[in-house]
Chain A
């Protein structure tokens, strides 16, 4: 009897290992593909896929799953530019690099902080063709998924009006290194969708919205720029709204504004987390804020 039990246990263990190695194998394969494709220029890519790209396969999320939490205080091995001027945006948005001038033809103006699996960016892309949109995500595998997803979308829609050249993702710690990426007043919109709630009181500094971090967001946002927040955790919603309301450089936008704003609509429906909340019939709480001018100093 006990033999049987042990056998099944062993088998389960083997199966687990097998699944893990399958996931790893899949990611490795994608890795090779990504390396070959990621930095290819837009035109070259079109040549590489003369068909409309019907055979282009989107990456499968289940191979990239990763624990939902990451410690923002630990010193990860991160790649980030020494200054915003040193940032090589050409790598991320090859379609908007002008070979002649050596400059980008349009810049990142929208940031999705903690973009997760990238659903929001994908939905925002057709609405903001004149702005580059950047997703920042701290989890390695999730970032890789979004990268693969964007690469696939770019290939699949190479001939379409929205070819997803204006969205990109990078792995980074926005709480520590946001000013390394963006210049003062570079952004017009920042999204904080379903951030890690960090329930414990002693972990509150790990939250993405704190009064001290808001000053950094205010620095990279231009006057009139918007901060969007959405969460399914009511406590966190209250916390974020409270801190934004208390911050002297932000003012709350009212319900009427929220109802007429397209991004709110997209944010409400787009993200993977948001859809999960819908499936579980949870509530979603939204708060949006406008960056107001600096006071007299």
Chain B
């Protein structure tokens, strides 16, 4: 059984589809469905723990050696004492903690894939050693992916952007820090000598975007609180402003290519915000409620975990609300449209983004299976990754105009799915596919 693709990303031309499933990255040709590039993370998931253990052992050994010396010195200082024994406890090798029964399973998968603006590099993250992996793309080779740098970080990276010239990767981590990592500079081994973060939130980062306006560079960051921050780049210690409007976590930020001063943001709120992020004041141009659009597609999956229910809700389950999480928004550049995916639904909502920033409804597309992720190329073709057990993992749509979308026959897409090497024995072995809803905060502390 084929493992569904957790991430899919097309290049601008739509010739190639970059995908990930578990810890595999596979690149497919959309013309033939053939694999043109692949990479597997071979680093053991226990690697960071092993490193930690080694460090502890070294420290203990050093301490042990010092203890012995001290004991010897003490013995030498008092030669008269009769029963003088050099007593130093032997080192106890620290154990690598292993999860006990009932512990949540450990997964190892690629969380983000990012293609630089010039499409020279594909950048991803690993779970095993919390690294940023950078591949140079060369389609003249048998395997188009050539790993040029693997940089471990102290905390798990979870958002990637790149500078205009693709020389710098701007990487946000789970701890809220953003690092600037060069592509050509050698990887830093000792994390103590790793450069300081260029900016930071005191909250998990969910998205990082690089932007340029009026000849100046900026980096936009969004986090698990409701903050969206605009900082200058590379002097990111100068903050331009915060964009206030969200009430819940923000999962994605989109700057449409046809309107570089616009910004569309979404996340755990049941609305989408449209901004002029460059203005000094009155940045929020529109909020568009997706509530009525999304609600018919939600299921009991979208109800809060039981431990967060109030007594009334537990007594009367009809009080429980289904929560909306917008997982992704992408633009269809050619027709100035937005496409919105609410997590774990089988619908895509097409919206119009007017020049004044106002958002209006266009149409809804539905699929047979739940949608995991999607990608749009410059020719207005949209690739949709499906949560499907029968091997039908991809749908493809073509926007013919701003109002006309056509679902294409997907023989090459089925070929791509068939060529994928990531197999599981049974449906239970499929990795969790929906992660964004877990970002919702449920304040347990007073």
Contact = CB atoms under 8 A, between A and B. Distances in A.
Interface of A: 71-77, 82-83, 140, 173, 175-177, 179-180, 184, 205, 210-216, 218-219, 247-249, 294-295, 297
Contact of A297 (B238, B242, B441): B238
A210 B200 contact: yes
B247 A77 contact: no
Given A176-B225, A212-B197, A218 B237 contact: yes
A224 B444 CA distance: 40
Contacts of B442: 75
A176 B227 CA distance: 9
Contacts of B236: 215
A249 B444 contact: no
Interface string B211-229: 0000010000000010101
B239 A216 contact: yes
B252 to A, nearest CB: 20
Given A75-B444, A297-B216, A205 B244 contact: no
Interface residues of B, number: 32
B443 interface: yes
A203 B241 CA distance: 28
A212 B236 CA distance: 9
Most A CB within 10 A of own CB, among B199, B200, B231, B237: B237
Interface string B427-443: 00000000000000111
Greatest chain B CB density within 10 A among A75, A212, A213, A219 is at: A212
Closest 9 CB pairs of A and B: A212-B200, A83-B244, A215-B237, A219-B239, A77-B443, A175-B202, A75-B441, A176-B202, A179-B242
A184 B244 CA distance: 14
26 contacts: A72-B202, A73-B202, A75-B443, A76-B443, A77-B445, A77-B446, A82-B244, A140-B446, A173-B202, A175-B202, A176-B203, A177-B225, A184-B241, A205-B175, A205-B177, A211-B196, A211-B197, A214-B237, A215-B231, A215-B238, A248-B235, A249-B237, A249-B238, A294-B238, A297-B232, A297-B235
Contacts of B196: 211
Given A75-B442, A82-B247, A176-B203, 12 more contacts: A75-B441, A75-B445, A76-B443, A76-B446, A77-B443, A77-B446, A176-B202, A179-B229, A180-B244, A218-B237, A248-B235, A297-B232
Contacts of B238: 215, 218, 249, 294-295, 297
Interface of B: 175-177, 196-197, 199-203, 216, 225, 227, 229, 231-232, 235-239, 241-242, 244-245, 247, 441-446
Contacts of B216: 297
Contacts of B444: 75
Most-contacted residue by chain A among B175, B231, B443 (CB, 10 A): B443
A76 B203 CA distance: 13
Contacts of A212: 176-177, 197, 199-201
A77 B244 CA distance: 19
State the majority secondary structure of interface residues on B: loop
Contact of A215 (B227, B239, B247): B239
Given A83-B244, A215-B238, A295-B238, A74 B199 contact: no
A38 to B, nearest CB: 20
A75 B244 CA distance: 19
A213 B202 CA distance: 8
Contacts of B176: 212
B257 to A, nearest CB: 24
Of B196, B247, B442, most buried by chain A (CB within 10 Å of CB) is: B196
Nearest to B155: A205
Nearest to A201: B192
A140 B445 CA distance: 11
Nearest to A179: B242
A176 B443 CA distance: 14
Contact of A76 (B201, B235, B244, B445): B445
Contacts of B197: 211-212
Contacts of B202: 72-73, 173, 175-176, 213
A109 to B, nearest CB: 19
A213 B237 contact: no
A72 B202 CA distance: 8
A73 B229 CA distance: 18
Contacts of A75: 441-445
Contacts of B247: 82
Nearest to A219: B239
Contacts of A297: 216, 232, 235, 238
A177 B441 CA distance: 15
Nearest to A173: B202
A180 B445 CA distance: 20
A17 B443 CA distance: 28
Contacts of A175: 202
Contacts of A218: 237-239
Nearest to B237: A215
B199 A215 contact: yes
A143 to B, nearest CB: 12
Contacts of A213: 200, 202
A75 B231 CA distance: 25
Contacts of A177: 225
A232 B297 CA distance: 58
Nearest to A71: B445
Contacts of B244: 82-83, 180
Contacts of A72: 202
Contacts of A71: 445
Nearest to A297: B232
A83 B282 CA distance: 12
A136 to B, nearest CB: 14
Contacts of B175: 205
Nearest to B444: A75
B19 to A, nearest CB: 34
A173 to B, nearest CB: 8
